[in-house]
Amino acid sequence: MGIRFLLFFLLSCGVLFAREVVPLSKTRFEIRNDNGSSRTVDLKGREFIVVSVREPGSDGRFYAVDADGVVWWSGPLTSGADDFKTPSGLYPVLYKKRYHMSTKYPDPSGVNNMDYSIFFTHQGHALHKGSVDWMSHGCIHIDPKDIPTLFRWAKPGRTKVIVTRHSYMPFARPDLLRFHLK
């Protein structure tokens, strides 16, 4: 009974942990689980952020997609290093925090090291301002020039975050070329 309730709760909150998330189109994703099952999720009419982590076969980019299905913003990112892999899945934006210091990995200088945080897991994973030249402890580093725009746009409870280890560029390219975002 406890496991069923937890699964129901997570699904009702929009959390879908996955072994693998495969983009099928601009708004459709196949979510493959460890038990071999899969389901297709269509985010048509929803705002979401695709995070294609920096690994072989991925883009190392984020893509902001509006409710009309238009990729209107994109930029480079880095994700978790080998020992700190960012989990694949579909998550809701839980909350945002403009100024934040990691409690698990605080900066020794005392300077905030997770500003513009957009939290998407209860384990503390977030998209936040960081160097796109080095890997993280599991969060998604977004370039300092891109994160303020993404932070203002993302809405807790409304915007979804999709973390994939596959390329999303084939679906985003027409919009990016139209907006000259390369």
Range of the structural domain that residue 28 is part of: 2-179
Q: What is the pLDDT of residues 126-138, one digit of tens each?
A: 999 988 877 665 6
- Looking at the chain, the whole-number percentage of residues with pLDDT higher than 90 is 54
Q: How far apart are CA 64 and CA 154, in angstroms?
A: 9
Q: What's the pLDDT score for residue 40?
A: 97
Q: What is the pLDDT of residues 86-104, one digit of tens each?
A: 788 999 999 998 875 566 6
Higher pLDDT, 52 or 34: 52
Do residues 139 and 116 lie in contact, with contact meaning Cβ atoms separated by under 8 Å? no
Q: What's the pLDDT score for residue 137?
A: 57
Q: How far apart are CA 24 and CA 27, in angstroms?
A: 8
Q: Detail the DSSP E strand segments found in 5-146.
A: 16-17, 20-23, 28-32, 38-42, 48-52, 61-65, 71-78, 89-92, 95-97, 117-119, 126-129, 140-142
Q: How confident is the model at residue 179 (pLDDT cuts 50, 70, 90)?
A: confident
Domain count, the chain: 1
Q: What is the pLDDT of residues 136-175, one digit of tens each?
A: 656 789 999 999 999 999 999 999 999 999 999 999 999 9
Q: What's the pLDDT score for residue 134?
A: 73
Q: What's the pLDDT score for residue 144?
A: 94
Give the CATH number of the domain where residue 147 resides. 2.40.440.10
Q: How far apart are CA 141 and CA 168, in angstroms?
A: 18
